A and B are shown apart, each in its own frame.
Chain A
Amino acid sequence: MSAGPRKKLMYLNRRAPGGTIYAVEGLEVVLIGAAFDQDVCMAFVGDGVYQLKAGQDTSDSGVKNFSPAYRALGDYDVNRLYVERESLEERGLGVDDLMPLTWEDEDDDWAEKPSIHVVDRAELARLIDAQDVVFNF
């Protein structure tokens, strides 16, 4: 793998977990891309916030519930997940409705730290602006 400068990558998730393959395929890209050791974060806006909802159950729809895989993101060193506050509020959701995702900080005696950061729309716009690359799903 070439050792170019690390890029700031954001995976921007805008769609609900079911109904289309965007969410599951997007997550797969994140997990695959994690091997490239870049500066990665994810953002969840609009119906994308439903991807992080706790207690998802797909048994009636006949598709696999892939939501437990978000809990593995910390193992893949993807530990900044920005969730837009307005998108949560517009859907009657709060951070307590989301899966409690954490990562372990190797440099801090493996302390468990939260991965989810709720940010407002203006802050998210600044974060998007600061990226080298934004992938839309």
Chain B
Amino acid sequence: MGLQVNGKTLDTDEEGYLSNLSDWEPEVAQVMAEADECDLTENHWEVINFLRSYYEEYQIAPAVRVLTKAIGKKLGKDKGNSRYLYQLYPYGPAKQACKYAGLPKPTGCV
């Protein structure tokens, strides 16, 4: 499997997650979102950027429960709830946003 971004083919796993974290660039998220017919707004990017810095710090993709709590702490209570996050990422905030962010599937996600 591969993902076409800026004329390059990036390796992905069978579910479309990037194989190499270092292949990520913002266009990766754009291309993945277009395939899902999802328009990336500033609010989407906020979550993507949050996940990337979380991974950088802890070397894991957080479970959705952990993500929700951490977003609430960092970006405010109105964003740290699953209703808000599922509106942005209907396929599951941790799963879908991690994919756009170029991270592996969250630990504990089936």
A-to-B contact residues, CB < 8 Å: 28, 31-32, 34-35, 64-69, 71-72, 75-76
Distance to closest chain B CB from A45 (angstroms): 24
A34 B59 Cβ-Cβ under 8 A: no
Distance to closest chain A CB from B63 (angstroms): 6
Residues of B within 8 A of A34 (CB): 63, 108
Categorize the interface residue count of chain B: 10 to 19
Complex partner residue of A71 from B58, B62, B66, B70, CB under 8 angstroms: B58
* Contact of B44 with A by CB under 8 A: no
A72 B62 Cβ-Cβ under 8 A: yes
Bound-state CA distance A76–B63 (Å) is: 9
Residues of A within 8 A of B79 (CB): none
Contacts beyond the supplied A31-B63, A69-B59, A75-B70: 16 A-B pairs with Cβ under 8 Å: A31-B60, A32-B108, A34-B63, A35-B63, A35-B108, A64-B59, A65-B59, A66-B60, A68-B57, A68-B58, A68-B59, A69-B58, A71-B58, A72-B58, A72-B66, A75-B62
Residues of B within 8 A of A75 (CB): 62, 66, 69-70
B58 A31 Cβ-Cβ under 8 A: no
Residues of A within 8 A of B70 (CB): 75
Bound-state CA distance A112–B11 (Å) is: 41
* Contact of B65 with A by CB under 8 A: yes
Distance to closest chain A CB from B3 (angstroms): 22
- Map CB proximity to A onto B63-82 as digits: 1 under 8 Å, 0 otherwise: 10110011000000000000
Residues of B within 8 A of A35 (CB): 63, 65, 108
Where chain A touches its partner, the secondary structure class is helix
* Contact of B20 with A by CB under 8 A: no
* Contact of B9 with A by CB under 8 A: no
Task: Assess A28 versus B107: contact at CB under 8 Å? Given A66-B59, A71-B58, A72-B58.
Answer: yes
Bound-state CA distance A64–B56 (Å) is: 12
Q: Which 8 pairs of residues, A with B, have the shortest CB-CB distance?
A: A32-B108, A72-B58, A68-B59, A75-B66, A69-B60, A31-B107, A69-B59, A68-B58
Q: Which residue of A lies closest to B64 (CB)?
A: A35
Distance to closest chain B CB from A57 (angstroms): 13
